[in-house]
Structure formats: C-alpha cells, structure tokens
Structure 1
Amino acid sequence: MSFEQLGLSPYIAKSISKLGFLKPFEIQEQTIPHILKGKDVMGIAKTGSGKTLCFVAPLLQKMQHASYEKSRAIKALILVPTRELAVQIEETFVGLQDALRREVKTQAVYGGTSINPQMKNLYGTEILIATPGRLLDLLDHNAFSMDQLEYLVIDEADKMFQLGFGEEMERILKVVPAKKQSILFSATLNEKVDEIKATLKINPIVVEVKKQDIDIEAIEQVAYHVTAENKGPFLRYLIKTENIQQVLIFVSSTRTADNLVEKLKKNNIDALAVHSKKSQGARMDNLEDFKLGDVQVLVATDLIGRGIHIEGLPYVINYELPRSPLDYVHRIGRTGRANQTGKAISLITEEDLHHFKVIQKKMGKKVEVESTEEVNLHGY
C-alpha cells in the first residue's frame, strides 16, 4: 500500500518519500484514513511504529486547503510531554512542507528558554506544538487564542498524566473548544488514557498495533567507552579495522554532521551528510548514493535518519547518543531489518554513561560497554 492510497495528496506523498519512507507502517495505514475523514482517533502502538507521521501528514493536508488569515488564533494544538518531542515533531512538519502549495506556519514552544521570542513568533502560527507548562504561560500572557481551534492532538497520551501534568492538562482541556477533531496517540492503553477520553467527551476510533516494527533481538549491540578526544580517531579505527563498507552514523546536530564528514574525508573515508539544513535535492542525491553503495558513510541527524530504510544495512553507529530512548531505538532499527542481522555500535563518553543506562533500561536490553584504553589509535 502507498501513502496516496491512504488518501494523502501526491504532494504530501512525494515529500514523505523524499524523507526516505517507502511505504506506510501499520499504524499509519490504520489511522491516517480516519484522521483525513475528520474522525476522533486514538492510536496505540509501541516505540518505533511511526506515530508522528500519522497526524503530521493529515494535518498539513487539511491545513493547506483551509482559508488562512494571519492572526493569533491557532487552528491546531499538539500537546507533548517533552521539549525533545516538541522539537522532533516541528522538524517533521518542516520536512514535509517542500511540495505544499502554501507554507503552513508551525511553532514548537516549551520551557527552559525565553518566552518572549515564542510570544512574538506566535502571530500567524497555525499549528502549535507545546508542552503543558509553557502553553499555560502563553495563555496567561494572552499570546494566542484557541477560539478557532479545529484540531487537538495529544501525543504520548499515556505519559501526559503519569509525568505530573495532571493539573496542567485539566486547565488546558477546560479552555479547549468542545467542537474539534481529537487525535490521541499512546504507547499503552491504560486508565489514564480513559480519563482523557472522558474529559474530552469523545468516543474515538481505537486502533491498536501490537507488533513492534523494530526487532531489537535481530540487532547486535556493542558499546565502546571513549574519551571525547579519542571519539573521532576511534570511529575511523572502527571503520578501517572492521572493513565497514556501508554505515549510517547518527549525530545530534547539523554542525556535528558536517564537521564529522569533513574529518572522515580528510582521512580518506568517503562520507556524505543528510540533515534538514541541506537542500531537498542534496538530501535525495546523498541518500541515493548511499543506498546504491557509492558512498561508504552517511552521517545523519534523527529527523532524516528515521526515514532511511535500506534493506540489509549492516551497520549503524551512534557517534552521539540521542536525548530520548525512543530515538535510540529508531536509530538502531535502521539495521537488522527484513529478517537480516545488523550491528549497532555506540560510542560512549564518561558523561554519556548514566544516560546510556537509562536507554538500556527503557529498551529492556543490557549492552556491555567495552574499554578502549588498550587500542592503539596512532595514525587514525
């Protein structure tokens, strides 16, 4: 089945394919048609199942055809538990807008940063992605209006109450218009989610996908303890000594991606980068060269890397750990696909050790961290 067969426009489908998604995941197949028809939907699916695209693509399609007048009245609100998820969702919206007939203005707002730029940028915003605390701050400042709200999305709904958002969520849901389309996504179906359904006074179509798209057991995971200074040389040592001919390397920023590619090239390792700051054409060309085996190393950030699907990709390397365990699973899931084994390697500095333990706990699998003190990196 194709994305167009789900009811998405050829323009949206084209943008999705450019990000590397060749066909819909099961949760996308079962929820996107209902969302496009305006139904209230609750999707239940495990980590790595592609839930974000389920609401991003339909919302963009609906919004680009709607009448638009610049104001402080938002049309869609997406509630999320963490800053990292808010940023990730905003990047997904941006990544799918290339082929749209008009730009749909989106903004992610969250705490831990100045509220003033966020308030200023809210004028003209159509889709607002927000953590509950910062959303309430902005409401208290009358920075935007929900009078014209048509769509409410609650992502990771099972966490929104478990993480102490109960009172904030109650305040928000009291000011959300009664007439709207409600879209909820969750990793589990529990009593807290039932509470949200009761509060919203909705009886949504419930879609539950129990199958995990990413088979952790098919992936050999290895981690190496490195110093920050030795991380680059050790990476080059690994690529050369293990004779790695095709590897996807994940980093946390576009700047790191470009710097790493430059260092690899200086050491005679053929490498390219794909990230959101590269043009669509450059991303497509680099990805195609990598898929064809013309390039040995592809360095990617999470947004673009998540959409890379290559049958039989033998290696994935985490040059830098992602902030969330969910993204870690997405990353290593690029290998070990189509009933084939794959190897995921993580480079762990002293500062990463605690976070890597958290990732292992959330993933439910222990990964030994091997010492590299005895490795001779001279010449690498």
Structure 2
Amino acid sequence: MQFTDLGLAEPILRALAAKKYASPTPIQAQAIPVLLDGKDLCGIAQTGTGKTAAFALPSLDHFARNPKPTPLQGCRMLVLSPTRELAAQIAQSFRDYGRFLKLSVEVVFGGVPINRQIRALGRGVDVVVATPGRLLDLIDQRAFTLKDTEIFVLDEADQMMDMGFIHPLKRIAKLLPKERQNLFFSATMPGEIEALAAQFLNNPVKVSVAPQSTTAERVRQQATFVNQVEKQALLTLTVKDEDIDRALIFTRTKHGADRVVRFLEGAGIQAVAIHGNKSQAQRTTALQAFRHGNVKLLVATDIAARGIDVSGVSHVINFELPNVPEQYVHRIGRTARAGADGVAISFVAEDERPYLKAIERTTRVKLDIVPLPENFVEVVRNLPKAAPPKKGREQTPDQKARRADGQRRYQDQQQRQPRGTAERAHRPDGEALAKKPSRRRRTGVGAHKGAVQRTVR
C-alpha cells in the first residue's frame, strides 16, 4: 500500500513526498481510513511505529477539506502529550505534514513564559499540542477554551497514567464539547487504561498492530550481572569498546543521571543529561545536541523513554533497570527505529534480578547474558574520579548575555547615583549616619479614609 492509495488531500501527499515517505506503517495503514471516515479510534502500538502520522495525516485532511476560521482563544484540534519534548516533536510533525496548508500550530507546555503562549492562542489556532498542566493553567486564567474543539487526541495514554495525570485528564474531558472526534493511542492497554479510554471514546474502532508489551524484533537484547557500585566502571568500558553512533543511557533518578555524566566526563567522555530538574532551555539544548550528533551520549530518566524520535540511536543502555516492565519496552523502543537494527544493554545488580525476571516474563524474550570483561577488576581499580559538579545553575548563552547586560546596567546606575544617596549609610570619616525618625501627618479633608502621607525629608 502507498499513501496515494489512502485518499489523502493533494497538499498532504506533496508534503509526504518531500519527506520521501511513500508507504504507510501498519498502524498508519489501519488507522488512517478509519479516521478519514470520522470515527473514534483506540490505537495500540509499540513506540516507534509511526503513531504521530497515524493521527496527524487524517486530521490535516479534515482541515484541508473543511476550512474554517480559527476560534478566538480556542482551537480546532487538541493533542495532549505527557512530556514537553514529545509535545514539541508532535507539533513539528504537524508543521511538516501541513507545510502546504494554511494552518496554525502551537505547542503549549510549562517551563517557558505563559504570557507568550496567551498571546499566541488569543487569535485562535488550528492545532494545539499541549501538556495537561499548562493547558489547565491557561484555561484557569480564561485565556483558552475547548468549547470549539473538533478533534481530540490523547497520545501515550499509559504514560499519562504513570505520571499521575488521571485527574487533570478527567477535568479536561468535562471541558470538551460532546460532538467531537476522539483518538486514543497507547503502547499498552491494561485495565485502568481501558477505563480511561471509556471516558473519552464513543463506540471506537480498535486497532492493534503488535501484541501488548512486545519489544522491537531488530533489537539485540543483552544483560550483564554487576555490583551496583561497579556499574560506572562497566559503563565507561562499554561506551569505549562498543561501536556507538548514539546511545541513550537510562537511570532511575535525576541525581543518578547527573552523577553518571560527571563520571563519564572525568574519563574524558562527553555526555549530557536530561531530566525534570533541568530547565526547559537546558533540556532543549541537550536534546538538540544529541539529535544533531554533537554529543553521542544522552543520560536520561524515563522522561525521555517515550516518543522522542531521534534517528540513529544505535544503543540503549539501562544503567538501572526500571521496576515497571512496560517501561523497559518504552526505553529500548528508542533504538531500532525505521527498520534499523539496535542494541539494548542492561546492567543488573543483585537487587534488580526480580525486575529482570518480570521484564522477561512480560516481553516473552530471554535476554542474552554477557559476562564481565576479563580486565574488569583492573578497570574498576583505575576508574577516573568524577568531574566536579558545575557551580550554580547552568545557563544558556542567552541567559548569560542577559545577566551580563543587567550587571552593566546596574553598575552604570550606581555611577550616576547622587553622592547623598549612594553614601547615605556612612559619613566620609566612617561615622554612622543617624537616621531621623519619619514624621507622619494626617491627610486633609477629601482624602481617602485612613490614608497617611509620609513627609519628604
């Protein structure tokens, strides 16, 4: 099957041809005809199978065939995403696929000034891609409304549940109009996700292109048993010996991610970290450096396990195993994308063996056990010390420039300040200047009740 067989509008086919996309993936081939008919859909597919295009292309086709003015302080289509990075990626996909359509696309998430988003949404938008928290902030400030939404998409629903978004989602569901098309996508479908889907969907068509909790067939999965304190030495040896194009290294905690980066830098290996404690500018900078190949190693918490479509990720390294088996599936789904091969390496400490058994039971895949290298004891003994943590909060070049500019303005102001105020605290001879008590007098007739005027010295 080709995209030209699906009946999509000509501007969309032109955009797909520009990106050299000819054949739809299985989830796209099954979902697009259903959505073109205007039906609700519940799609189940493992990460990296092309879910974004599966809901973006038929939605853009709807806009191309049904042009309308954008509703003031509203949108025609709302896409909810669990993370900022995934939201930005989805918005970019809409811009790419709709490049020959006169459509407006805005991305809304926290970590950036809200006033800029309020101005962008005030004139109305065709497609809004948002995280739940910032979306509700805009609604609470009466800067945005969902009453004109025609298409609603909930992407990565199972991660929404894992991140505790169940109550915001229920609230958003009540604000949406009853007459709308609903699209629900998830990599897994446990019972609680089905209950959530029932709140949004109306007699949906269910599309599933892979068994739940399966892993990519092209990923070579292996595990090595190692003590927790020796994992850093094994990681340093692995990234030096493996033929790595790009590697995602997963830790369970934010501080653990920063610690791994410092040890790698101490060994002369460049790496960057991305997690929830980083500012949005830092997260964007790190992800762009990794995407463009300027940095080959990205150390992340599970915030990056879903939906981050970075081509050329040859390795996924689980520095620490996740305690939820499905999360392992999402992690290793970052490699072996678009028909490529990949390698997933897991470091398993003694207390993580139950996690490994749960992963193998869920995925029905037995990981290849790889022994420790012969010279591993020597590597542990000679492991370089971690690089010292960077003092203060990391700043982007723009932030540094603004800070320097502010300091220059402050110094100029101090030089222009009159002598009497600049040296108010002390006389030239160093004797403290006694402050006179302030005098107050009551206001005259006609002033506001209770007002007090302070005399000027």
CA contact (8 A) 1:27 1:209 kept: yes
* Cα drift, residue 38 of structure 1: 0.5
Encode CA deviations 1:223-254: one digit per residue, 9 max, x unaligned: 95263373369xxxxxxxxxxxxxxxxx9544
**Residue identity opposite 1:87 in structure 2:** A
Q: 1:325 to 1:88 in 2, by over 3 A?
A: farther
Encode CA deviations 1:305-357: one digit per residue, 9 max, x unaligned: 3xx8xxxxxx93689x9xx97786454214875xxxx45499xxxxxxxxxx9
| Structure 1 counterpart of 2:42 | 42
Q: How does 1:1-380 map to 2 (within 5 A)?
A: 1-70=1-70, 71-98=72-99, 100-102=100-102, 104-123=103-122, 124-200=124-200, 202-210=202-210, 214-218=216-220, 225=236, 227-228=264-265, 230-231=268-269, 253-254=287-288, 260=294, 303=309, 305=311, 316=314, 329-334=332-337, 337=340, 342=341, 344=343
Secondary structure (helix, strand or coil) at the match of 1:182 reads strand
Q: 1:328 to 1:190 in 2, by over 3 A?
A: closer
Identity of aligned residues (%): 30
Secondary structure (helix, strand or coil) at the match of 1:94 reads helix
Secondary structure (helix, strand or coil) at the match of 2:27 reads helix
Matched residues in 1 for 2:18 and 2:333: separation?
A: 18
Matched residues in 2 for 1:213 and 1:58: separation?
A: 27
Matched residues in 2 for 1:328 and 1:90: separation?
A: 22
* Cα drift, residue 34 of structure 1: 0.7
Secondary structure (helix, strand or coil) at the match of 1:49 reads coil
* Cα drift, residue 216 of structure 1: 4.4
Matched residues in 1 for 2:293 and 2:188: separation?
A: 39
Matched residues in 1 for 2:286 and 2:223: separation?
A: 19
Matched residues in 2 for 1:254 and 1:178: separation?
A: 39
Matched residues in 2 for 1:65 and 1:44: separation?
A: 28
* Cα drift, residue 73 of structure 1: 2.2
* Cα drift, residue 210 of structure 1: 1.9
Q: 1:118 to 1:204 in 2, by over 3 A?
A: same
**Residue identity opposite 1:150 in structure 2:** E
CA contact (8 A) 1:218 1:336 kept: no
Q: 1:64 to 1:304 in 2, by over 3 A?
A: farther
Q: How many residues align?
A: 296
Secondary structure (helix, strand or coil) at the match of 1:126 reads strand
Matched residues in 1 for 2:215 and 2:23: separation?
A: 13
Matched residues in 2 for 1:343 and 1:162: separation?
A: 26
Q: 1:219 to 1:252 in 2, by over 3 A?
A: farther
CA contact (8 A) 2:81 2:156 kept: yes
Secondary structure (helix, strand or coil) at the match of 2:189 reads coil
**Residue identity opposite 2:78 in structure 1:** L
CA contact (8 A) 2:40 2:201 kept: no
CA contact (8 A) 2:220 2:343 kept: no
* Cα drift, residue 160 of structure 1: 2.8
Encode CA deviations 1:152-174: one digit per residue, 9 max, x unaligned: 11112233334322221121111
CA contact (8 A) 2:219 2:343 kept: no
Of residues 63-72 and 85-94 in structure 1, the stretch that sits farther from structure 2 once superposed is 63-72
Any stretches of 5+ residues in structure 2 without a counterpart? 225-233, 240-263, 272-284, 296-307, 320-326, 346-354, 384-457
Matched residues in 2 for 1:167 and 1:336: separation?
A: 38
Matched residues in 2 for 1:45 and 1:256: separation?
A: 26
| Structure 1 counterpart of 2:447 | none
Matched residues in 1 for 2:215 and 2:7: separation?
A: 23
Matched residues in 2 for 1:150 and 1:335: separation?
A: 31
Q: Which has the bigger relative contact order, CA under 8 A and spacing at least 6?
A: 1
* Cα drift, residue 97 of structure 1: 2.6
Matched residues in 2 for 1:54 and 1:199: separation?
A: 22
CA contact (8 A) 1:157 1:184 kept: yes
Q: 1:166 to 1:334 in 2, by over 3 A?
A: closer
CA contact (8 A) 2:76 2:150 kept: yes
* Cα drift, residue 204 of structure 1: 0.5
Encode CA deviations 1:28-51: one digit per residue, 9 max, x unaligned: 111111111111111111222221
Matched residues in 2 for 1:193 and 1:94: separation?
A: 30
* Cα drift, residue 195 of structure 1: 2.3
**Residue identity opposite 1:333 in structure 2:** A
| Structure 2 counterpart of 1:353 | none
CA contact (8 A) 2:223 2:368 kept: no
Encode CA deviations 1:83-135: one digit per residue, 9 max, x unaligned: 2221221121122233x232x21122122332222212113321111222211
Q: 1:331 to 1:79 in 2, by over 3 A?
A: closer
Matched residues in 2 for 1:45 and 1:221: separation?
A: 25
Matched residues in 2 for 1:259 and 1:159: separation?
A: 28
Matched residues in 2 for 1:259 and 1:343: separation?
A: 17
Secondary structure (helix, strand or coil) at the match of 1:24 reads coil
Encode CA deviations 1:276-320: one digit per residue, 9 max, x unaligned: xxxxxxxxxxxxxxxxxxxxxxxxxx6573xx8xxxxxx93689x
Query: Structure 2-normalised TM-score?
Result: 0.54
* Cα drift, residue 194 of structure 1: 3.0
**Residue identity opposite 1:83 in structure 2:** R
